[in-house]
C-alpha cells in the first residue's frame, strides 16, 4: 500500500474516529484498487475509469462501497496537494435501492420472549443472560457489537439509561424499559464474579461474549420457540425495536437518536411500516380531516 493511502487511513482514524472494521474495509478496497491501477496518488483518470471493468462482476452495493472509498481518498489527495485533479468522476456510480429491513411481527416477538422467559424462570445463569440480551436488543435497539461490548459500569443503577459507545466511538444515552431493567438486575445477581471482568457479559478470561456467539444463541432460541432461525438475528430485533416504536407514534428524530444514526436518511427506512396506519393518521390528525366538502 502506498504512503498516500496509509496517510489517508491514518487521517480517518485520527480525525474522523473511524471504527476498526471501517478502517479494515477501506484498507482492503484501496489496496485492491492500487493492485489494479497503481499508486492512487499518481494514477491517471483513464486508469480510474478502467476500474468499472475490474468491478463488473461485483454486486452494485460492493461497487458503490469501493467507489466511495476512492472518492474520499481522491478528495483527501487533492486537499493534501498530492494530486492536481480529482478523477472521481470517472468512477462507476451504480444506482442502489436500499433494501427494506426484515422485521419481526408482534406475534413472533411474543413467541420468542415467552420461550426465553420460560427458560429463565429457574434462574439458570445462561438462560437469564439470554433473556437479558434479547430484552436489550428489542427494548433498547442496541447493535450487536454495542450490546456484547457493554462494560459492567454501563449497567443502569440510579437511572434507567445505558451509556452506549456506537460507531466511530460516538456515545449516546439509551433508555432502558422496566422489563429490561428487571432482567439486567437478575443477571447482575447471577453474573460470574470469577475471573474478574469489566464487561457486563463476560466470556473467557478477559473478554466478552462475541457477536458470533450472540447470533448463535439467538437463532437457537428462535428454533426452540418454533420460529425460523434464518429470519431472526440481533439486527432483526433492532429493526423490530425501531419499527414498532414508529408504529406507536415515535418521532423520527427521536428514533434517530435512540438508534445512533448519524444521518436521518438512515432512519427514514423505517417509514415503510404499515402504510394503512399512516393513511389513517393523516385522515385523523390533519387540520382538514374534520371538515366536509360543503364547509
The catalytic site residues sit at 143, 167, 235, 238, 261, 270
Closest residue by Cα to residue 261 from 250, 270, 273, 272 = 270
Closest residue by Cα to residue 274 from 244, 237, 239, 238 = 244
State the residue for C-alpha cell 433508555. 175
E strands within the chain? 161-165, 171-175, 202-203, 207-208
- Side-chain-facing half-sphere of 122: CA atoms under 13 Å: 4
Polymer length of the chain: 295
Residue 11 gets the label, from left (phi > 0), alpha (psi -120 to 50) or beta, of: alpha
- Helix axes of 234-247 and 106-119: crossing angle, nearest 10 degrees: 120
Strands 171-175 and 202-203: unpaired
> Residue 186 to residues 114, 123, 129, 220: CA-CA distances in angstroms?
17, 8, 9, 22
- Helix axes of 125-140 and 106-119: crossing angle, nearest 10 degrees: 150
Amino acid at each position: 500500500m502506498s504512503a498516500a493511502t496509509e496517510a489517508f487511513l491514518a487521517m480517518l482514524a485520527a480525525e474522523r474516529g473511524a471504527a476498526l472494521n471501517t478502517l479494515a474495509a477501506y484498507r482492503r478496497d484501496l489496496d485492491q484498487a492500487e493492485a489494479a491501477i497503481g499508486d492512487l496518488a499518481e494514477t491517471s483518470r483513464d486508469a480510474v475509469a478502467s476500474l468499472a471493468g475490474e468491478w463488473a462482476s461485483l454486486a452494485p452495493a460492493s461497487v458503490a462501497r469501493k467507489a466511495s472509498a476512492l472518492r474520499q481518498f481522491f478528495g483527501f489527495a487533492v486537499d493534501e496537494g498530492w494530486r492536481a485533479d480529482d478523477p472521481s468522476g470517472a468512477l462507476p456510480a451504480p444506482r442502489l435501492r436500499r433494501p427494506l429491513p426484515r422485521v419481526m411481527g408482534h406475534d413472533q416477538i411474543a413467541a420468542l420472549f415467552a420461550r426465553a422467559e420460560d427458560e429463565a424462570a429457574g434462574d439458570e445463569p445462561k438462560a437469564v443472560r439470554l433473556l437479558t440480551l434479547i430484552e436489550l436488543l428489542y427494548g433498547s435497539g442496541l447493535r450487536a457489537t454495542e450490546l456484547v461490548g457493554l462494560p459492567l459500569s454501563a449497567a443502569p443503577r440510579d437511572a434507567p439509561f445505558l451509556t452506549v459507545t456506537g460507531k466511530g466511538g460516538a456515545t449516546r444515552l439509551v433508555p432502558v424499559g422496566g422489563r429490561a431493567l428487571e432482567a439486567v438486575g437478575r443477571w447482575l445477581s447471577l453474573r460470574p464474579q470469577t475471573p474478574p471482568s469489566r464487561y457486563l457479559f463476560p466470556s473467557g478470561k478477559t473478554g466478552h461474549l462475541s457477536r458470533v456467539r450472540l447470533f448463535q444463541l439467538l437463532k437457537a432460541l428462535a428454533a426452540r420457540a418454533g420460529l425460523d432461525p434464518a429470519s431472526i438475528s440481533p439486527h432483526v430485533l433492532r429493526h423490530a425495536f425501531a419499527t414498532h416504536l414508529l408504529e406507536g407514534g415515535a418521532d423520527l428524530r427521536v428514533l434517530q437518536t435512540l438508534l445512533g444514526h448519524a444521518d436521518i436518511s438512515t432512519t427514514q427506512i423505517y417509514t415503510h411500516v404499515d402504510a394503512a396506519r399512516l393513511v389513517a393518521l393523516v385522515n385523523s390528525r390533519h387540520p382538514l380531516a374534520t371538515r366536509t366538502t360543503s364547509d
